[in-house]
Amino acid sequence: MTRGVFLVFEGIDVSGKSTQARRVAAHHDALYTFEPGDTELGQELRRWVLDAATPMNPATEALLMLTDRSHHVNSVIAPALDAGRSVVCDRFYASTLAYQGYGRGVDLELLRAASELAVGACLPTMTILLDVSLEVVNERRAHDAKDRFEAEDLAFHQRVRDGYLHLAKENGWFVVDGARSKVDIARVIDERVADLPW
């Protein structure tokens, strides 16, 4: 059986990832899923990893994210792909490099090695980065409730954004200007993914 497409959307909070990931998944009859937290164990891990009231070392934060990913890959993503179903995932491997690596300063090589342990051979067919400035984030953020990451200062979010752009260049990802309208973004993404073997 042919393995399905594994498409990943990355970007900072409110860049529009889930809007586009859900839309593309529905259009191609693919499984939509997200990290962290789209399994029973993941929900529990997500609660802790996003809870701003629980102080947490950056390495602990990274290991919880990777625990979630390992379980998600083995119980959701890989079984779907192996069954020939395509998967669209909202955040994956690169989120850990961007947030815990570029954002928190955890050693990137250690994160890459631990990430390999978490994902094995399950790597994305394509990664799309929705890039937005922090000004756009401030305009779009509709609520005040802050999780561990939302509560971080501007400098943290700027490091994460710059880290994503660096990774995109290094790995040849498709980068979309997330400040454009949803319709414009949908058009460029649809053109880019049309030829994937859905």
Q: Footprint of ligand ADP on this chain (CB under 6 A)?
A: 11, 13-19, 140, 181-182, 185
Closest residue to ligand ADP, Cβ-based? Answer: 16
Query: Running DSSP on this structure, what letter comes out for residue 28?
Result: T
Strand partners for 31: 87
Taking the least distance from each CB to ligand ADP, the nearer of 89 and 185 is 185
Residue 61's closest CA among 122, 147, 170, 163?
147
Taking the least distance from each CB to ligand ADP, the nearer of 2 and 181 is 181
Task: Give the nearest distance from C-beta 196 to ligand ADP in angstroms.
Answer: 21
CB 97, CB 164: distance < 8 Å: no
Whether the bond between 36 and the residue before it is cis, its omega within 30 degrees of 0, is yes
Taking the least distance from each CB to ligand ADP, the nearer of 28 and 140 is 140
Task: Give the nearest distance from C-beta 115 to ligand ADP in angstroms.
Answer: 21
Task: Give the nearest distance from C-beta 128 to ligand ADP in angstroms.
Answer: 12
Three-state secondary structure call for residue 175: strand
Task: Give the nearest distance from C-beta 170 to ligand ADP in angstroms.
Answer: 22
Cα dihedral 93, 95, 98, 103, rounded to 10, equals -130
Taking the least distance from each CB to ligand ADP, the nearer of 74 and 133 is 133
Taking the least distance from each CB to ligand ADP, the nearer of 118 and 185 is 185
Taking the least distance from each CB to ligand ADP, the nearer of 4 and 16 is 16
Task: Give the nearest distance from C-beta 160 to ligand ADP in angstroms.
Answer: 12
Task: Give the nearest distance from C-beta 10 to ligand ADP in angstroms.
Answer: 9
Helix ranges restricted to H, 101-193: 108-119, 134-140, 154-171, 182-193
Q: What is the 3-state secondary structure (H, E, C) of 52-107?
A: CCCCCCHHHHHHHHHHHHHHHHHHHHHHHHHCCCCEEEECCHHHHHHHHHHHCCCC
